[in-house]
Amino acid sequence: MTIITEHSIALPIDLPSKDVHAKMDIFYNPVMISNRNISILLLNTINTKELQIADPLAGSGIRSLRFIKELAAGKIGRLCVNDLKPNFPSYFTKRLKDSKIKKTDKIIIENKEASRFLLDQAGFDYIDLDPFGSPNPFLGAAIARLSREGFLAITATDTAALTGTYPQVTRRKYWAEPMHNYLMHEIGLRILIRKIQLQGIQFDKALTPLLSYHKEHYFRIYFQASKGKEKCDALVKQHQYFLHCSSCLQFKNSGYNSEKCSCGKQFSVAGPLSIGALTDQKLIRKMAKNNLFPEETAFLDLLATEATIPQIGYYDLHEIARKLKKDPPRMENILKKIKAVRTHFSGTGIKTMASLEEIKKEFFPIHR
């Protein structure tokens, strides 16, 4: 038994010698510390109080324990913590005691299948779905119990399905064609957003992303719901295809899934997917400013900068260099010259409103 300290909470955990897995007696994933840090930061940044919060797949309960300790006073109205493991209620009660947290009627501990837990409740203002694998099995229940302007946080760790390693799985689970190249993480994230939005539309709930990103081995999206058929229809208009030319590296979004590139080659196609904004610029700037987790500073600053250029897709300097058979220019130089920003999807990627031809000019010394 190892004592794990994660910010305000210490937990006794039996960690496996290799990767974490779903059959652990008490599930705890140390890689997800950043995921939990950012959820706390986001909740402390949005202007809400007395939230009805659900943690349907609590595992070790670390997220909920940290919510109790680290969310601002008055932020939690009621916290419902659930996990299907048979010993979870006694385990979590003991962790409350160890953490010197008084068990009040604001803390509800349940021991049910996650969807049943959600459907047995009246509703929530914030639901955090952090499954091992795909969130698909829990989407319907979560969205059904999400309040009119509630917040839905979703993690997906089945990145192989979303990034095209197994295209048939993408088509079956996410109703879209993936793209297995350097763009696969952004494409996978946008496919996931569309799938979740379609689930919301069934309930006349328009789910707008506030913060979306890929990190480590997972995708993470925070949505805010709003009610109305017109808002849902507007989201559907944002569901298009992404077209990419493997020959010249041009890309675009389109309402059509078969087009030829201007270079004469056929575009590769991904989607349908969401072409809407991945992140709310005001929110991410405020989060970066309010951040109390030093280990998240660089990542939040990167997301805040990236959000200033609303480009679907990005250019990878090393991919362009391979096509041109040239060394890539220094990242700092090209960012200034073509008014580009880095992307969190790739250390060699940039987002810019400049054309591909303008970017290519920077690969030739005469233009530097």
Secondary structure of the chain: what % helix, strand, coil (to 5)? 35, 25, 35
pLDDT at 14: 79
Length of the chain: 368
Question: Rounded to whole angstroms, how far apart are CA atoms 165 and 171?
Answer: 12
Question: Rounded to whole angstroms, how far apart are CA atoms 346 and 357?
Answer: 21
pLDDT at 368: 46
The vertex-211 CA angle with 118 and 106, nearest 5°, equals 35
Strand partners, 207: 225
For residue 97, the tally of other CB atoms under 10 A from its CB is: 11
For residue 4, the tally of other CB atoms under 10 A from its CB is: 16
Look at residue 183 and give its three-state secondary structure.
Answer: coil
Structural domains in the chain plus CATH codes: 2-238 (3.40.50.150), 281-367 (3.30.56.70)
Question: Rounded to whole angstroms, how far apart are CA atoms 323 and 302?
Answer: 27
pLDDT one digit per residue (tens) for the chain, 368 residues: 789 899 999 999 877 767 877 777 778 889 999 999 999 999 999 999 999 999 999 999 999 999 999 999 999 999 999 999 999 999 999 999 999 999 999 999 999 999 999 999 999 999 999 999 999 999 999 999 999 999 999 999 999 999 999 999 999 999 999 999 999 999 999 999 999 999 999 999 999 999 999 999 999 999 999 999 999 999 999 999 999 999 999 999 999 999 999 999 999 999 999 999 999 999 999 999 999 999 999 999 999 999 999 999 999 999 999 999 999 999 999 999 999 999 999 999 999 999 999 999 999 876 44
DSSP symbols for 285-335: HHHHHH---GGGHHHHHHHHHHTTS--SS-EEHHHHHHHHTSPPPPHHHHH
For residue 353, the tally of other CB atoms under 10 A from its CB is: 11
Sequence-separated contacts (24+) of 282-290 with Cβ below 8 Å? 283/42, 283/45, 283/46, 283/210, 283/211, 284/211, 286/45, 287/38, 287/41, 287/42, 287/45, 287/211, 290/41, 290/44, 290/45
Q: Are 81 and 92 in contact (CB under 8 A)?
A: yes
Q: Are 52 and 42 in contact (CB under 8 A)?
A: no
Question: Rounded to whole angstroms, how far apart are CA atoms 152 and 359?
Answer: 38
> Beta 251-254 vs 2-6: how paired, if at all?
unpaired
The H or E element that residue 115 is part of is helix 114-119
pLDDT at 366: 61
Question: Rounded to whole angstroms, how far apart are CA atoms 27 and 85?
Answer: 9
> Beta 146-156 vs 218-227: how paired, if at all?
antiparallel
Question: Rounded to whole angstroms, how far apart are CA atoms 144 and 142?
Answer: 5
> Beta 218-227 vs 205-215: how paired, if at all?
antiparallel
